[in-house]
C-alpha cells in the first residue's frame, strides 16, 4: 500500500500538473511491443508499458460454433496473474480482477469486430476455428488493462492459421499458413481519477490512491466500441467527455505501434 506521505505527494504534484515519474497528466509511459515472442504459439506478443509487462499468446483449434452463430468462428479470452508479477497475486483460480481484465479485453475485440469470424467457419453449424487468447501478467506496475489489450491485439495480428482442405466433413491439414483475418484494431485508453484530477496510464502507486478508473476502447475509425468503469468514485459528464476526447487521440498514437 502507498503511505500517506506518498498519497499527499501524488495529490500535491497533480495539482500542479505533474506526476511522480515526471510525466504530464495525459502522457503514457514508454510503450514497447515485441510480436512473435513464443515460437510454438500461432501468435504472440510481449508488451511493456513502463515496468508493466504482459504476454499474450494465441492458440487456434478446430471446434464447434455457438448454436446461435453457426457461421462464425469462436473467440475466447483468458487472463492469468502470475504470482511472480506482484506480491498481491496468488496461485489458484482466477480472481475478480483477472476475470474483469479478460472481459474488458474480450469486449473491445468482439465489439469492434476485430476478427472476421465468418471467415473462420469451416463447415456451417459443425466445424469452425476457435481462437484462444491467453494473457499472462508478468510484472504489475499499473494499467494492466491497456497493456493486456495491446498485447492481445498485437498477438492477433501476429497469428497465422494452418491451411486445410475438406474431404467430406474431415479436415485435412495442408502445408503453409494463412494470416488470421484481422480487420479492425481496437485500442483501450485507461484513466484514473485522483481527487479532481484525471490522468492517463496510471502507475501502480497512482492506482492504489485513485478514486475511480475509466477505460474507453476505440476502433480504427475512432468509434467507441467498449467502456469500463472501476472503483467506487464517480466521474462527471464533463470528465467523461474529456476522457473520450483525449483517449481518441491517444488510441491513434498507440495503434501506430502495431500496424
In a domain, 76, yes or no: yes
The Cα–Cα gap between 128 and 117 comes to: 9
Cell of 65: 460454433
Domain assignment of residue 10, yes or no = no
**Reduced to 3 states, what is the DSSP secondary structure of residue 149?**
helix
pTM of the predicted protein model: 0.95
- According to DSSP, the residues that pair with 171 across neighbouring strands are 166
pLDDT of residue 155: 98
CATH number at residue 183: 3.30.230.70
Residue 81 · residue 137 · CB < 8 Å: yes
Min mean pLDDT across 89-93, 153-157, 221-225 is at: 89-93
What is the number of alpha carbons within 13 Å of residue 222 lying toward its C-beta? 8
**Is 12 domain-assigned?**
no
pLDDT for 23 equals 95
CA dist 246 → 48, 120, 159, 249 (Å): 21, 35, 30, 5
Instruction: Supply the DSSP symbol for 66.
Output: P
Question: Confidence class of residue 198 from pLDDT cuts 50, 70 and 90?
Answer: very high
Convert the pLDDT of each residue in 102-141 to its tens digit.
Answer: 999 999 999 999 999 999 999 999 999 999 999 999 999 9
Domain membership of residue 6 (yes or no) is no
Q: DSSP alpha helices (H): ranges in the chain? A: 4-15, 96-111, 144-157, 204-209, 237-255
15's CB contacts (< 8 A; 6+ apart) are: 197
Residue 13 lies in a domain: no
pLDDT at 1: 56
Q: Is residue 9 part of a domain?
A: no
Convert the pLDDT of each residue in 45-93 to its tens digit: 999 999 999 999 999 999 999 999 999 999 999 999 988 888 788 777 7
Q: Per the domain annotation, does 139 fall within a domain?
A: yes
pLDDT at 3: 64
For the record, the C-alpha cell of 209 comes out as 490512491
| Overall number of domains in the chain | 1
**pLDDT at 251 > cutoff 90:** yes
Percent of the chain scoring above 90 in pLDDT: 86
**Domain membership of residue 27 as a residue range:** 20-255
Give me the residue label for grid cell 471446434: 63
Strand partners, 192: 199, 213
Closest CA to 197 of 27, 17, 6: 17
% residues pLDDT > 70 (the chain): 99
The separation between CA 175 and the C-alpha centre of its own chain, rounded to angstroms, equals 32
Amino acid at each position: 500500500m502507498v503511505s500517506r506521505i506518498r498519497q499527499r505527494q501524488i495529490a500535491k504534484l497533480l495539482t500542479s500538473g505533474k506526476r511522480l515519474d515526471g510525466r504530464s497528466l495525459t502522457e503514457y509511459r514508454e510503450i514497447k511491443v515485441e510480436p512473435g515472442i513464443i515460437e510454438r504459439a500461432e501468435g504472440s506478443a510481449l508488451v511493456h508499458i513502463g515496468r508493466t509487462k504482459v504476454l499474450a499468446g494465441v492458440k487456434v483449434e478446430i471446434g464447434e460454433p455457438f448454436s446461435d452463430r453457426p457461421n462464425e468462428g469462436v473467440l475466447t479470452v483468458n487472463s492469468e496473474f502470475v504470482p511472480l508479477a506482484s506480491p498481491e497475486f496468488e496461485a489458484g483460480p482466477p480472481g475478480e480482477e483477472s476475470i474483469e481484465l479478460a472481459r474488458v479485453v474480450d469486449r473491445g475485440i468482439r465489439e469492434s469486430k476485430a476478427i472476421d469470424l465468418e471467415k473462420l467457419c469451416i463447415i456451417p453449424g459443425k466445424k469452425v476455428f476457435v481462437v484462444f487468447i491467453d494473457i499472462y501478467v508478468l510484472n504489475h506496475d499499473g494499467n494492466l488493462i491497456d497493456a493486456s489489450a495491446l498485447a492481445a491485439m498485437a498477438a492477433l495480428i501476429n497469428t497465422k492459421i494452418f491451411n486445410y482442405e475438406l474431404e467430406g466433413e474431415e479436415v485435412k491439414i495442408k502445408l503453409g499458413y494463412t494470416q488470421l483475418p484481422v480487420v479492425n484494431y481496437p485500442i483501450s485508453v485507461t484513466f484514473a481519477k485522483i481527487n479532481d484530477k484525471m490522468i492517463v496510464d496510471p502507475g501502480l502507486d497512482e492506482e492504489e490512491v485513485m478514486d475511480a478508473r475509466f477505460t474507453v476502447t476505440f476502433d480504427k475509425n475512432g468509434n467507441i466500441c467498449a467502456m469500463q468503469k472501476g472503483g467506487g468514485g464517480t466521474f462527471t459528464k464533463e470528465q467523461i467527455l474529456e476522457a473520450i476526447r483525449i483517449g481518441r487521440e491517444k488510441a491513434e498514437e498507440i495503434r501506430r505501434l502495431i500496424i
